[in-house]
Structure 1
Amino acid sequence: MDDSTGLQSMRSKSKAEVVEQQSLLYRPDTPSHIEQNVENTVPKNTVVSWISLPNKGQLMILAMCRVSEPLSNSTLLAYIFYLLQTTLSTPSSTPSNAEIARVSGLLVAMFPFGQFLTSFLWGWLSDVYGRKPVIVFGLVVSVIANMGFGFSLNFESLLFWRFIAGLANGNTGVMRSMTAEIVEEKKHRARAFMLLPLVFSTGRILGMAFGGVFADPVKSLPHIFGTTGALNVSKTSGGVAWMIHYPYAFPMIVNSAFMTAALILANFKLSETAPGRRQQMCDLAVSWPFVVRSAHRLLRKSGSTRYTAVETDEKQLEAQGENNMYGSAQPKRCAIWNRKTIRVIIFSGLLPLHNGAFTHLFAVFLSTPIAASNPSDLFHSAGGLGLTSQSIGIVLAILGISGIILKFFTYPPVHAHFGTLRTIWISLLLFPVAYFATPFLALISEQSIWRWLCVVSLLLTQIMARGFIIPCSIMLLTDSVYQKGALGRVHGAANMLGSLAKALAPLIGGWIFSRGIEMNCIGMAWWFWLTPIAFVSLAWSFLLSDVDKIGEEIRSSHDI
């Protein structure tokens, strides 16, 4: 069959047949540094394990880059109550607990709002110009934003730098796309897509630990930074002078140091994986002129109003048909935004409405002072657990580490046994249990061991549910993309909607939480916001069955 006959045969196929063939043929190109045709060289009976995961070096560098977001986002949660209490206080007034809860929602929301504005942009830029420059640029801005936040002394500056950090970290979808392109074999995807959530959890643990231990270091680490501390070389009364003036700068300095290390590794060691852009950028010296030239071309095109003649010869039509079948850097719009993809994107937006609000509300709940009087019944209490920032950071860090260990060993066999969609359903049933029970922690005596056992149980339940559902949702979204050239945009769109949900969740949750304190019902946000939204997510997940079938067909077509 000659080329023209083959092209005509492809054109004669129905749209449904083409879409089905696209779904089965979808596989990201193998990066230049990865051995070609891996699936043909690995025996079918090879044991799938963490050790057998390919390209671990590249995944490790990408994982270090992924730490940027949770570090930037979660460090302040350990001390946000005390940060706002200090920032909002005046010589004549002190903010109430309800006011702090309300304002904390705005501060937390600025980060995901920044992500919302740039997520799709970063995804599009990564599809066109490559993944690596987007990741490197994001890390540079993250370092600057963290330093700016740490040395801010007023609420407006805190909002600004948190917003800038969110703009820089809208590239989560880019990293997810890169994971799919680094790990080619579908049988390794359950572990590969679990890696980024594990790293996210690790980064969040580090962030909370940094915030809890290093916030106000003159008081938290007096033997090092206090009046007689080893590093108080000037012997300033009260401790290290600049730490007294900027009590919450030290955690952000530590954050910036970690991000700088990731930036150096990404710049010199991370390989480009975007289709058509590989081997173009090895380090900043090479990539920077490329970025400048690309920006110049983009500006020149935007200022041009002339029409360009379009060639329509048979060879170009043939190339276009081939690209539409196997994927291109600029696929047609109708081929990208199909019904299945949109359903998964909406599902990705529902999760942060409750899951994202939990982290913020739980941190504020732990910091809220214990109620002055015992509640009259189970549903009337305005008090939290009254923990210090150091206690919160250490407790959340220890529990997070435990959660990571559990997820590391339990997720792969659970996913292998139940499959993607059933694992999602199990997770969505665990969320409302944790949400509904959390406010009752305030009713348990602070001296009782039962309080800590319940705290551990509820947190581990939420951590496990989150750790299971995120990689599953990423796999569903990847399976719904028919064209590899659109992967960055689709993940960017999902991250964009998820970021908007993360921005709305603390605003709404913080307002409801503050109203609950004022109405002597601290459980209001948990019972009338998080729990119902979790059930809405569960209901929507039943619309994803056809997407999961596509994933099963893809996996079976690759002998998984």
Structure 2
Amino acid sequence: MPRMSADQMPSTGLLKGHDSDQDVAEPSMYAPPSAARLEVLPVEEEERLLQAQSMTQVSEKSKPVSWASLPRKDQLLILTLARLSEPLTQTSLQSYMFYQLRSFSPSAPDSTISYQAGMLQAAFTGAQFCTALIWGRMADWEQMGRKRVILVGLLGTGIGALGFGFSNSFAVALLWRALGGALNGNIGVMRTMISEIIRDKKYQSRAFLLLPMTFNVGVIVGPILGGLLADPAGSYPSLFGSVAWLKQWPYALPNIVSAGFLFLSAMVLLLGLEESHEALKDKPDLGLRIGRWLTRTIFRSDISQDYQALSSDEMDPSTMEMQSPTDEPPTPKLSKVRRKLPFSRIWTANVLFTFTAHFLLAGHVGTFNSLWFVFLSTPRYVPHEQTNNGTNPNSSLGVPPDYRPHPLFSWTGGLALPPAKIGTALAILGVVGISLQLLLYPKISFRLGTVTSFRLSLCFFPLAYFLVPFLSLVPTTSTSPAAASGPLLWVSIVIVLCIQVTARTFALPATAILINNACPHPSVLGSVHGLGQSASSAARTIGPLVLSYLYGVGLRKGVVGLSWWCMAGFATIGAMAGLFVKDGEGHEIWLEGEKEEEEDQGKVQRH
């Protein structure tokens, strides 16, 4: 190829540098004497290279992301552990809550107990609703940050669990549940941290799946743990029958274990989690220092290996052979002015639509978790033909003595399952959920996209809720009032739960991603997730209160499906609301000067 001097080179084209002595150009008025001779690639070759590069990038984007490729697995693991401890606590008490409430008021009818269970659920989420936005704002505040807010949430939930376990009346239990909810704003802050740790959108579907997947692990372990540990003096009299405090507080032990998990998670988070707030991530963290010192002491290894590029003056000539001819010096980063979007400008159309769909989704999903264990605990209906003493065998259900069921829609009673079997039925939720999340969700979500999978999943909820009350009509191997049992019953339970959990598996990660991407400006990301948790908490407060009341009304009227079919209608409205949601970019509003900064940074990167 003929040599060209610097002043003869065209203004366009890909330039290729060489380090051979034979390619060094003679000094000219346009180039320094030490400059390397450059070659010009033909236009056709340049176009082929650009096309190949573009095809490579498209190919890389079209490849599904694997779990192994997720960045910052250490930080995601700590957040996962912190998230796991909370559903362990919440689902553990569901397996025995009906019976703990019964111990407070032995003579109360089942309709009252079911309403009290809804109030306990609403106390936690109602308090969350009142404080979630505050915790979101605190997480955005430079004097607090994300990490400290999550620590407060874990410790507060642990204290609330201890208080609930040692409660001796419904009012005291309600107070401790409200305290635990008021101090817990974690889920919104955790989602904020994940979005800041995982910046690349191609990893978000996997990263945001971790929180609901962890929830399903808690749903598996928590109910089983609660069912086994509840009332140990009555369940295992040979082991705990002589322990006085377990007799006085029969439901304290599972709450002590749950609080232990929460306090352990708080310790791990304190020692290992890095602050992700932009203004705080580089500030000293005493907890991290202690954690790294413990790691070095126990494992005799240094986990803090920080690498940085050497300047050109510090490079050793002996290492130059390891450098590629196409390597470029690191791009200097321009310092950015921190700008804050006013709170009044958060409310864009997409934010409102997304919050509305999220409110409706959280309402019926949270209510299902509350009503499901109440339905499993509700006594079975006893036909009058089975009683000969003239008494009303269904007095606890609140139906009149002359009540007679007449399907298709008028019948009453639940399944009368004891705590251990309730734990099993609740654990099925987790087993089905985590199986779908590991095997089905990544592939289908990748093919369909976030919005499409979200909208389709919403269509399954109404069907699941419609079918739930029919479980009390499934033939069983036991006669009422004994607990329902038999293979046909458990197969039916699994089918109904598969429908509900499939919908939940796709809907919950998608709504977390959609809320994150609906954020109009990065400076209010914590506030947006706090608002999202407020909307969720409000829905999970109103839903259980209203529908548990309707459940009690349905029991008294002899229509156990009343609340379930109302919830199916509620879910249908939610599916319609999902049609208006779109996937945003996370930066819909640009403040003054930001466009210019982006353009300046782009120019620096190009040069």
Instruction: Please classify the TM superposition score into its range, dividing by the shorter chain length.
Output: 0.7 to 0.9
Residue in 2 that maps onto 1:518:
556
User: Aligned-pair distance for 1:332?
Assistant: 2.5
Q: Is the 8 A contact 1:69 1:169 kept in 2?
A: no
Change (3 A) 1:270 1:474: same
Distance in 2 separating the partners of 1:334 and 1:441: 48
Distance in 2 separating the partners of 1:367 and 1:360: 12
Residue in 2 that maps onto 1:345:
355
Residue in 1 that maps onto 2:305:
none
- Detail structure 1 runs of 4+ shifted over 4 Å in the superposition: 42-47, 284-287, 549-553
* Comparing 119-128 and 458-467, the one that deviates more: 458-467
The code of the aligned residue for 2:560 comes to I
Residue in 1 that maps onto 2:594:
none
**Identity value in percent:** 36
User: Aligned-pair distance for 1:65?
Assistant: 1.2
Residue in 2 that maps onto 1:247:
250
The code of the aligned residue for 1:472 comes to A
What CA deviation, in whole Å up to 9, does each residue of 1:227-253 have, x standing for no partner?
x32xx5xxxxx3322111110001111
Q: TM-score, normalised by structure 2?
A: 0.72
Q: Is the 8 A contact 2:453 2:506 kept in 1?
A: yes
RMSD: 2.3
Alignment of structure 1 residues 144-543 onto 2, 5 Å: 144-220=159-235, 222=236, 226=237, 228-229=238-239, 232=240, 238-280=241-283, 282-283=285-286, 323=337, 328=338, 330-373=340-383, 375-447=405-477, 448-528=486-566, 530-543=567-580
Q: Is the 8 A contact 2:517 2:584 kept in 1?
A: no
Q: Is the 8 A contact 1:369 1:385 kept in 2?
A: yes
Distance in 2 separating the partners of 1:370 and 1:117: 38
Q: Is the 8 A contact 1:434 1:459 kept in 2?
A: yes
Q: Secondary structure at the match of 1:279?
A: coil
User: Aligned-pair distance for 1:81?
Assistant: 1.3
What CA deviation, in whole Å up to 9, does each residue of 1:231-277 have, x standing for no partner?
x5xxxxx3322111110001111101111111111001100001111
Q: Is the 8 A contact 1:272 1:281 kept in 2?
A: no
Q: Secondary structure at the match of 2:416?
A: coil
Residue in 1 that maps onto 2:115:
102
Distance in 2 separating the partners of 1:398 and 1:497: 28
Q: Is the 8 A contact 2:432 2:501 kept in 1?
A: no
What CA deviation, in whole Å up to 9, does each residue of 1:192-245 have, x standing for no partner?
01111111222233222222111111233x1xxx2x32xx5xxxxx33221111
Alignment of structure 1 residues 26-41 onto 2, 5 Å: none
User: Aligned-pair distance for 1:426?
Assistant: 1.8
Change (3 A) 1:517 1:430: same
Residue in 1 that maps onto 2:131:
118
Change (3 A) 1:44 1:81: closer
The code of the aligned residue for 1:120 comes to L
User: Aligned-pair distance for 1:162?
Assistant: 0.4
User: Aligned-pair distance for 1:362?
Assistant: 0.9
Distance in 1 separating the partners of 2:260 and 2:286: 20
Q: Is the 8 A contact 1:513 1:525 kept in 2?
A: yes
Q: Secondary structure at the match of 2:459?
A: helix
Count residues in correspondence. 457
Alignment of structure 1 residues 81-100 onto 2, 5 Å: 81-89=98-106, 94-100=107-113
Q: Which runs of 5+ in 2 are unaligned?
A: 1-56, 291-334, 384-403, 478-485, 589-607
> Quick check: which has more Rg, 1 or 2?
2
Q: TM-score, normalised by structure 1?
A: 0.78
Distance in 1 separating the partners of 2:276 and 2:374: 41
* Structure showing the higher helix proportion among its residues: 1
Q: Is the 8 A contact 2:126 2:538 kept in 1?
A: yes
User: Aligned-pair distance for 1:473?
Assistant: 0.9
Residue in 2 that maps onto 1:22:
none
Change (3 A) 1:167 1:71: farther
Q: Which runs of 5+ in 1 are unaligned?
A: 1-39, 233-237, 288-320, 554-560
Q: Is the 8 A contact 1:113 1:166 kept in 2?
A: yes
Change (3 A) 1:379 1:175: same
Distance in 2 separating the partners of 1:45 and 1:100: 53
Change (3 A) 1:215 1:240: same
Q: Secondary structure at the match of 2:405?
A: coil
Q: Secondary structure at the match of 2:196?
A: helix
Q: Secondary structure at the match of 2:68?
A: coil
What CA deviation, in whole Å up to 9, does each residue of 1:471-496 have, x standing for no partner?
11111111111321211000100110
Residue in 2 that maps onto 1:48:
65
Distance in 2 separating the partners of 1:484 and 1:475: 14
What CA deviation, in whole Å up to 9, does each residue of 1:460-514 have, x standing for no partner?
2111211210111111111111321211000100110110110111100110000
Distance in 2 separating the partners of 1:148 and 1:445: 41
Distance in 1 separating the partners of 2:471 and 2:79: 38
User: Aligned-pair distance for 1:550?
Assistant: 4.7
* Comparing 173-182 and 134-143, the one that deviates more: 134-143
Higher normalized contact order (CA 8 Å, seq sep 6+, divided by chain length): 1
Q: Is the 8 A contact 2:373 2:426 kept in 1?
A: no
Distance in 2 separating the partners of 1:249 and 1:281: 39
Distance in 2 separating the partners of 1:510 and 1:44: 47
The code of the aligned residue for 1:278 comes to K
Change (3 A) 1:414 1:82: same
User: Aligned-pair distance for 1:139?
Assistant: 1.4
The code of the aligned residue for 2:140 comes to D
Q: Is the 8 A contact 1:383 1:442 kept in 2?
A: yes
Q: Is the 8 A contact 2:271 2:288 kept in 1?
A: no
Q: Is the 8 A contact 1:130 1:277 kept in 2?
A: yes
Q: Is the 8 A contact 2:114 2:552 kept in 1?
A: yes
Change (3 A) 1:551 1:174: closer
Distance in 2 separating the partners of 1:423 and 1:84: 39
The code of the aligned residue for 1:75 comes to S
